[in-house]
Structure 1
């Protein structure tokens, strides 16, 4: 195979977008995905009314909006095939759908809800349970009653058989030649604490402490997305919780404003040539650098002519800016004339320290040697 590294100046093919939208009931996933999908489709093709491919696993729920979105191209994706056989939502079926969408040259494809691929009939969790049952039954046959088989010992072996199939689906989504919007369900997370101190009771690799929703998917999907957001019932359509949003999209995905056609159109513009995304990132990075000088330095820049011109770009990251300023202020407040800082409190410095006299280094070393020798003899 001939390998050629191509100068980026010669690469003009548009990028593709994979947008993840998760949320509980009443958060506006379906309607929002259709609005954003319309913006992407029309932005990519340059034509009004460009088709929106819609893969519907929710009992034709998307058809509630067919009057508002006549350009929708609907596919009723069920767990039963044309012959009435139960086939489920296995990874290979989703790959077939993506293949069909590409063959039909759909500019955008919406999956609603992709959670069926994870927790539906024939989905990843169901496949894992089936494989685990088979492995345990085989082990029990080998044991022939001589010993008890622990099913937990076969769980990882079952995942080793199922996960590669799911990983192929995720790779197919990433490499799709059409833009993809993936909707997933989200469930409330059990929390602990009260008021401003509330946080999730159990952290996982897909669950941040400050996000009270758990998407019905896995990290492989969430972090392969171009952008991944979670909606909240208190603000339907708004990307309140931003799980993965690069600087290039923070200006588009405002937690206070519902996503719409303009969101999709701007993302399509980015995909075609990145638009002004790189410049916006440079402005955000510059604001972060100013914040590292502390609150006073950042405020002075914010009120300067340059700062006023950058405000609309910087506002989406103001929470991050405030945290950087606060840390810089704390650092500046520490004593800097002592290379070891303020040091530990007296009661933390060990026996024999009276707060004024220095430690006897030789005595301390002898004490450590004696304790080490005593432990060695005991061992």
Structure 2
């Protein structure tokens, strides 16, 4: 039986969107307090009433209860690795899905998970599940582990992906906190970079979140906090244009941050207008430095200069690329870079074969 498929006009879709915000950081970076402040702003804006409930999933030995007087609206769940009978149940993917199901059943407008790192590296988490699966596939033989590691991941990762999909489809907004660890650096001072960048470890960010890249890239917003500036979104890993004006690396995130994000999710606020301005700035930068300079000094540019500064580095790079391209002299073929300078040997061979085919066709046409 074919499932009924119906496309709806966006005019019919008025339910608020949900937010998935990732906060990562080491000890003392203000994750818990920042998450609670933002959750308050989200909950009150989504429901339209002060004191709206905030769900809190606490894996950190009830750390959130340090703030129970400041946040009496908190609905706390103490998530431990053992059940009430003392049986080890761990932090496997299926258990987290049950937690999200329970949050939705309770009709909580927002849920904070602190810390979701347990799902990755905790007891019964993804890394332990992979190790257990690998032991089963290899019979404990170390010489087979490298060859069968991917097979083990093929069993474990689908379970984790179902959890990530459940987070994405959640009907409540979520703030997901993860731990972060310092990474080895090369160079010194302002010239220091990460010794081994990965998909979750940007070269210019000296912290490595204890989570998987799949989670980070599904977030609406993902930032890494730094102990030098607690609560401040110092390292902005993924921030949609709609939120760039809300996040200042020098200013702690708080209730107003959450409120503004929730207003965007409800289709209110001026986030869409801000995105249009940023897109306009990029468009002008692609015309070169002079065009971007003109826009920067226009009435619109002056009015939104604080917002434009959030992408200034990006626009400067775009303008420099445009000017460099314009400076090339098309009348002098020796002044242009080789067309195939970046081709691999295989790509160059394909290009040469295509050129020969064109010449052969031309000869046939002439004959």
Instruction: Give the TM-score, by structure 2 length.
Output: 0.87
Match status 1:150 vs 2:150: no
CA distance in 1, matches of 2:129, 2:152: 9
CA distance in 1, matches of 2:240, 2:304: 18
Residue deviations 1:216-258 (CA, integer Å, cap 9, x gap)? 0111111111111111111111111111111111111222221
Mapping 1:131-280, distance limit 5 Å: 131-137=133-139, 149-280=143-274
Runs of 4 or more, structure 1, over 6 Å off, are none
Report SS of the residue matched to 1:181: strand
Structure number with larger C-alpha Rg: 1
CA distance in 2, matches of 1:30, 1:244: 20
CA distance in 2, matches of 1:122, 1:108: 26
Please report how far the alpha carbon of residue 274 of structure 1 lies from its aligned counterpart in structure 2 after TM superposition: 5.0
- Retained in 1: the 8 A contact 2:301–2:308? no
Report SS of the residue matched to 2:266: helix
Partner of 2:59: 57
Instruction: Give the TM-score, by structure 1 length.
Output: 0.85
In structure 2, the gaps of 5 or more residues are: 339-367
In structure 1, the gaps of 5 or more residues are: 141-147, 345-379
CA distance in 2, matches of 1:32, 1:287: 31
CA distance in 2, matches of 1:316, 1:113: 29
CA distance in 2, matches of 1:317, 1:274: 23
Please report how far the alpha carbon of residue 92 of structure 1 lies from its aligned counterpart in structure 2 after TM superposition: 1.0
CA distance in 1, matches of 2:172, 2:305: 34
Partner of 2:118: 116
Root-mean-square deviation (CA, aligned residues, Å) is 1.7
Please report how far the alpha carbon of residue 295 of structure 1 lies from its aligned counterpart in structure 2 after TM superposition: 2.9
Partner of 1:373: none
Aligned length, in residue pairs: 336
CA distance in 2, matches of 1:268, 1:168: 26
Mapping 1:94-133, distance limit 5 Å: 94-133=96-135
Please report how far the alpha carbon of residue 343 of structure 1 lies from its aligned counterpart in structure 2 after TM superposition: 5.2
